[in-house]
Amino acid sequence: MTAIHYDLEFLEDGRHIELISIGMVAEDGREYYAVSRDMPVRKIRKDKWLMENVVPSLPKGAGDRRNHVPKSWLFDYADPVVKRRERIADDVMDFIRAAGPDVELWANYGAYDHVCLAQLWGRMIDLPEGVPMFTHDIQQEARRQGLGWNDLPKQESGEHNALADARHNQTVRQWLAAHATTKES
């Protein structure tokens, strides 16, 4: 089994979940990070929480005269991690398939992340072969072991940067796996 830990930042208005950025960390050592240039910029600007917590970690440069990024841009569209949603869908499919046939997806409070990920390819029925139909949840595994959030390793930095969050998900999931082994032996 190869685990892929991931995290998405998204805009969520109670009806839709729209991708902002995605970070993925595979147990085989590969990592992926992308920012969607198709994110709903106007809605994001009106979302105080996203503006304070998520937007600061997007590729920057706004107002920086050296790279001529206009102040009006929410993020630097020219940064190589910024990609079209369709391109991200292709990249993510390749990333997951490269982990082999026995792959597990893991996220933290991952229900919304899973839907937003799956919608990269459209409807549920459009999910590409090789992409798991569900995401394991770190929260569920912690409860199964009788642990609360405060018992788990803490994230030191980068919270709400999708790649930093995905790396932390890997740390916690591997810690939980080791903890389960210790308890059972």
Give residues in contact with Mg ion (CB under 5 A): 7, 165
Report the distance separating Cα 109 and Cα 46, nearest Å.
24
- Cβ distance to Mg ion smaller for residue 7 or 137: 7
- Nearest-angstrom CA–CA distance, 15 and 100: 34
Nearest to Mg ion by Cβ — which residue?
165
Minimum CB–partner distance for residue 53 and Mg ion (Å): 9
Give whichever of 53 and 174 is closer to Mg ion, judged by the CB atom. Answer: 53
9 vs 76 by CB, closer to Mg ion = 9
Residues 6+ apart with CB under 8 A from 172: 108, 138, 152, 153
Q: How far is the CB of 159 from Mg ion (least distance, A)?
A: 7
* Nearest distance from C-beta of residue 157 to Mg ion, angstroms: 13
Q: Closest Cα to residue 168, out of 25, 71, 70?
A: 25
Q: At CA 5, angle to CA 180 and CA 31, rounded to 5?
A: 135
To the nearest whole angstrom, how small is the minimum distance from the Cβ of residue 21 to Mg ion? Answer: 8
b/e per residue 69-98 (b: at least 16 CB within 10 A):
beeeebbbeebebbbeeeebbebbbebbee
Of 69 and 114, which has the nearer Cβ to Mg ion?
114
